[in-house]
Structures are given as structure tokens and as C-alpha cells.
Structure 1
């Protein structure tokens, strides 16, 4: 059965090997070039202080102009790769067999249907996981060496940072294969299965990205100056607004800050914005944030949920294939 699975999917496996080779070479070359630039331009001291030190502004700005988008592209590849594998490898895995009727021959062999399913899945999932994990480790090291001069400045909850770190790419790969194989087995046609898988994976990614931070407890941070927001750093900001004199929070939109801006009919030298805020009962600003330290916990929660759903989807695939004629 293993030899048959290899013969059926050798083109995909060779393509994965080519992607791995090209990806490794590209990331290593770019990573080395970036590190050499940091050393040549003396940006190590700026890197050590998050790019905020004296005399760092110009160097960090030039560095980001050259490398920020490239680093983002590397992260995007890690995020998109599980989707592509789920669509182009997972969805047609059984749909093509059913569509062409070759599953009847497989069912007539001595191997059980579940054994046939497992052999085909292992033949593709394991190499896919190897490719993804190797590229993820290389990209993560590349991004880490850019520090807060790179995408990490957006915090661990930003979409690309969150989805390209830790166990998230691996669980999304397993989920992509599980959803693709189930839809392929149910629909029995490759193209509809691929389209449905793509739509499903995009919808799940979007829903998880939007709902994720809301699952974590937030903290309230305040400032005593109504013209300056409290420091949030790389934490995820959930809500911002103003503080009333009685300590109540006024969510964004509840107070029109423009009324305390510069007024054309009043000389700037005589207009006092602070007095204006005080007259309206506003004494400061607040920010409701989810600390960056909660990101690994949220990743673990999503890993567990998506992992359980992936197992259930694979169980549904096995049940569907056992009922096929």
C-alpha cells in the first residue's frame, strides 16, 4: 500500500522537496544579508533597545524600509502554506479517486478502507509537516534577529505574528488536511472540494483571528492626561476611550475630542485644551488591553480546539469512506 501511495503522489512529494530546498536557500541568504547589514551599520545597540535609542531613528527607518515587507512575506508564506496544502493536497486526496472510480479498485484489495485512508494521509501529511516546520523555524529565527525593528514591533497578537509562531502553523496544516479530505470524500469531485476547502479555511482563519483575543482577560490602563493615551507597548488594545471625572469610562465615540481642538475663532495662545477637557468632565484616557504574555496561552487554547476538530473531521472522513460503494 505504501508503494502504491508513493506512485500516486510522487509528483506532489517531489514538488514539496523542491519548495523546501528553494525556501531554505532563500531564507538563509536573506537572513545572512540582514544580519550583515545590522552589523555593518552598527544597529546592534538600536536592536538592544527596541529601536528607540538616541540616534536610531534614521537607521531603523532605513532598515524597515528595506526589510520589514520581506520579513512579512516570509511570515505570510508560513501562514498561507497550510491553506495551500489543504486545498491542493488534502481536498483532491480522496475526491479524485471517487471522481475517477479508482476507489473501487482500492476497496477490493486486502487492505481495509481505514488502512487505505491512513496510508494515503501519512504519505502526504508527514512530508508536508516536515516542510512547514523547517521553513517556520528558519523564518522565525530570521524575524527574531530583526527584533522590534521588524514585525515583532506589532506585538504577538498581530495576525501574521500570531499565526506564524509556535504550534499554530502545524495545527492549521492538520486542520486543512482534515477538512479537505472530509469535503473531498463527501463531495466526490476535486474542484468543488478544493473550492469548499479554501472557503472553509479562510472563514475559520478569519473567525479565529477576530474572536481569539476576546477570549482572554483584559486589563484596564489609564493616563491622567486626556490628551495622551496610556502606554500599551506590544499588548493587544481591545478598546480605548476617555475617563470621566467620576471615574467612569467613556468608550471611543462617546465624547467628541474635536471640541477641545484648536479653534479658529480663538487665538492659540489663549486657548487651553486641558481646561476644555475639564469643563466637559474628562480627566484622562484609558485603554483596555490583553497583555502580550497571554499570547502563548491563547495559542494553546486554539491548538487544542482545532486539534480536536481535526480529529473529528478525520473520523467523519473514515465514516464517509466506509459507506462508499
Structure 2
């Protein structure tokens, strides 16, 4: 059975090997070039401070103009790769067999349908994992060496930073294969299965991005300055508002900062703004945030949730193959 699965999918496996080789070479060349530029221009002192560091404004800005988009492109590849593998490898895996009727021959052999499913999945899933993990490690090292002159300046909850690190790419790959396999077995035709897999995975990405921050506890931070939110640039801000004279949050719509010229082109001085806030009973500002240090915990939670969903989808695939084909 293993030999047959290899014969069926060797082209895909070899294609994955080529993608891994080309991707690794490209990242290595870019990473080496960037590191040499940092050393030649003496930018090591700016890695932890970015453009805000003393004497770093011009050099770091020029560095970001050259490398920032390339670094984000590398992260984007890691985010998109699980979806592409699910669409082009997992979705046709069983749909093509059912569409052409070749699954009937396989089911007449001594191998059980569950084992047939498992061998075919493993034959493509394992190489896919290797490609994804190796490229993820290479890109993560490249981004890390850019420090705060690169995408890390946006914090760990920025979409590309969060989705391209930790366990998240692996979780999405497992989900992509499970969803593609199930839809392929249910639909029974390659192209519709691929389209529905793509639509489903994009929808899941959107839902997870919106719901994710609510899976970890947030913190409430307050400030006596109503003109500045008490939140770090690296934290995920859930909600921001104003504090009234009683120290409680002012309900939404209870105070419009436009009356003090904050919006609409007002140009009052700091003292005038402070006086205006005080006249309207605003004594401070609050921010509900998810601290940047919670990012690894959120990644682990999402991995567990998506992994459990993937197991359920695979169980559904096994049931479909046993009962409907």
C-alpha cells in the first residue's frame, strides 16, 4: 500500500522538495545579504530600538525601505502555504480517486478503507510538514535578525507576526489537510472540492483572527492623562475609552472628544485640551489590552482548538469513506 501511494503521489512529493530547496536558498541569500548590510552600516545598536533609537532615524528608515516589505513577504508565504497545500494536495487526494472511480479498485483489496485513507494522508502530510516547518524556521530567523527595524516593531499580535510563528502554521496545515480531505470525500470532484476548501479555510482564518484575542484574559490599564491611552505599542488593544470624575468608564457616546478639538482639525494647546477635558468631567483614559507576553499562550490555545477540529474532520472523512463510497 505504501509503495502504491508513493507511485501515485511521488510527483507531488518531489514538487514539495523542489519548493523547499528553492525557498530555503532564497531565504538564505536574502538573510545573508541583510546581515551583511547591518554589519557594514553599523546598525546593530538600532536592532532593539528601530527608528526611534538615538542616531538610528535615517539609517533604520533606509533599512526598512529596503527590507521591510521583503520580510513581510516571507511571513506571508508561511501564512499562505498551509492554505495552498490544503487546496492543491489535500482536496484532490480522495476527490480525484472518487471522481475517476479508481477508489473502487482500492476498496476491493485486503487493505481497509481507514488504512488506505491514513497511508495516502501521511504520504503527503509528512513532506508538507517538513517543508512548512523548515521554511518557517528560516523566515523566523530572518525576521528576528531584523529586530525592531523589521515587522517585529508591530508587536506579536500583528497578523503576519502572529500567524507565521509558533504553532500556528502547523495548526493551520493540519486543519487544511483535514478540511481538504473531508470536502474531497464528500464532494467527490476535484475542482469543486478545491474551491470549497479554499473558501472554508479563508473563512476560518477570518473568524480565528477576530475571535482569537478573546480566548485569553485581558488587562485593564488606566491613565490620569485623558490625551494618552495607557497601552504599549506591542499589546493588542481590545477597547479604549475615557474615565469620568467618579473614576468609572464613561459609556460609549457619553463624551465626544471632538468638542475639545481632538478631531475635526482642532489645534488647541495641551493646556487648553486638558482644561476642556476637565470641564467635561473627563479625568483620565483607560485601555483594555491583551499583553504582548500572552501571545505564546494564545498560539498554544489556538493550536489546541484547531487541532481538535482537524481530528473531528478526519474522523468525518473516515466515516464518509466507509459509509458513502
Counterpart in the other structure of 2:245: 245
TM-score (norm. length: structure 1)? 0.95
Query: 1:192 Cα deviation (Å)?
Result: 1.0
For 2:43, the equivalent position in structure 1 comes to 43
Contact 1:185 1:320 (8 Å CA) reproduced: yes
Q: In 1, distance between residues paired with 2:137 and 2:213?
A: 25
Go from structure 1 to structure 2 and tell me whether the alpha carbon gap of 1:241 and 1:323 turns closer, same or farther (over 3 Å shift): same
In the aligned structure 1, how far is the partner of 2:160 from the partner of 2:197?
A: 21
Shift, 1:182, TM fit? 0.5
The reply to whether residue 218 of structure 1 matches residue 218 of structure 2 is yes
- Pick closer, same or farther for the CA change 1:269–1:54 going to 2, 3 Å: closer
On the 8 A contact 1:174/1:307 being kept in 2, the answer is yes
RMSD after superposition: 2.1
Secondary structure of 1:34's partner? Answer: helix
Cross-structure match for 1:323: 323
Deviation readout 1:250-285 (Å, 9 max, x if unpaired): 366542212112899x99689822111110011122
Counterpart for residue 27 of structure 2: 27
Alignment-derived partner of residue 300 in structure 2? 300
Contact 1:95 1:185 in 2 (8 A): yes
Shift of 1:52: 2.6
Deviation readout 1:216-246 (Å, 9 max, x if unpaired):
1111222222222224130111111222121
| 1:206-285 alignment runs, 5 A limit | 206-250=206-250, 253-261=253-261, 272-285=272-285
Matches for 1:109-128 after TM superposition, within 5 Å: 109-128=109-128
- Name the SS of the counterpart of 2:36 in structure 1: helix
Residue 190 (structure 1) aligns with: 190
Q: Deviations over 1:196-221 (max 9, x none)?
A: 11111111111011001012111122
| Aligned counterparts, 1:78-227, within 5 A | 78-227=78-227
Q: After TM superposition, give the deviation of residue 324 of structure 1 in Å.
A: 3.7
Counterpart Cα distance in 1 of 2:247 and 2:259? 21
1:315 CA displacement:
1.0
1:18 aligns with 2:18: yes
Alpha-carbon distance, 1:305 to partner? 1.1
CA distance 1:78–1:58, shift in 2 (3 Å): same
Distance 1:124 1:262, change over 3 A: closer
Distance 1:321 1:263, change over 3 A: closer
Seen in structure 2, the aligned counterparts of structure 1 residues 271 and 17 have a Cα distance that, compared at 3 Å, is closer
Report how many residues are paired.
Answer: 324
Q: Extract unaligned runs of 5+ from structure 1.
A: none
Is contact 2:51–2:58 with CA below 8 Å preserved after alignment?
no
Task: Compare 26-35 and 6-15 and name the one that shifted more.
Answer: 6-15
Q: Give 3-state SS (helix, strand or coil) of 1:237's partner.
A: strand
* Alpha-carbon distance, 1:287 to partner: 1.3
Most deviating of 53-62 and 123-132? 53-62
Say whether the 8 Å CA contact 1:240–1:251 is kept in structure 2: no
The 2-side partners of 1:268 and 1:276 are apart by 10
- SS of residue matched to 2:156: coil
Contact 1:155 1:235 in 2 (8 A): yes
Deviates more, 1:88-97 or 1:245-254: 245-254
